[in-house]
């Protein structure tokens, strides 16, 4: 069994709806929360090398994460990301309904 360390880096926020320019914050709380979720049960095997995955999420009306896509071809890793993040409630309020985030996650063996 491989131990997996998840590191979030590089981000792009996007909005499905037009929002005012008064948005504040650096999304730090959101990053920490997503990293904590992804690190909560890193117990899958199959990584032969470090992998960086681009993940695109959106926030629904219940302030839950919905994974829109990943760029990995590894079905196990794709399943892990989606199963871990999908419909998890965010307590961080930096992203609201209809907004999303694109970020890279580095999985190390």
Q: Give me the residue spans of the domains in the chain.
A: 5-108
Q: Please say if the pLDDT value at position 11 is more than 80.
A: no
CA dihedral sign of residues 57, 27, 37, 40: positive
For the stretch 21-70, pLDDT in tens is: 434 456 788 888 888 888 876 566 677 888 889 999 999 999 999 999 99
With a CB cutoff of 8 Å and minimum separation 6, the contacts of 19 are 96, 99
Which tokens hold the place of 64? 């839950």
- For the whole model, what pTM was predicted? 0.77
HSE toward the beta carbon, residue 7, CA cutoff 13 A = 10
DSSP result, 13-34: EEESS---TT----SHHHHHHH
Question: Cα 43–37–90 angle (5° rounding)?
Answer: 160
């Amino acid at each position: 069994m491989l131990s997996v360390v998840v590191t979030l880096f590089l981000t792009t926020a996007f909005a499905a709806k037009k929002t005012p320019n008064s948005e504040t914050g650096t999304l730090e709380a959101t990053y920490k929360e997503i990293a904590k979720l992804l690190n909560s049960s890193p117990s899958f095997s199959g990584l032969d090398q470090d992998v960086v995955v681009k993940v695109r999420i959106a926030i629904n009306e219940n302030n839950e994460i919905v994974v829109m896509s990943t760029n990995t071809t590894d079905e196990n890793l794709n399943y892990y990301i989606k199963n871990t993040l999908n419909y998890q409630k965010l307590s961080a309020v930096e992203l609201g309904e209809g907004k999303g985030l694109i970020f890279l996650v580095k999985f190390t063996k």
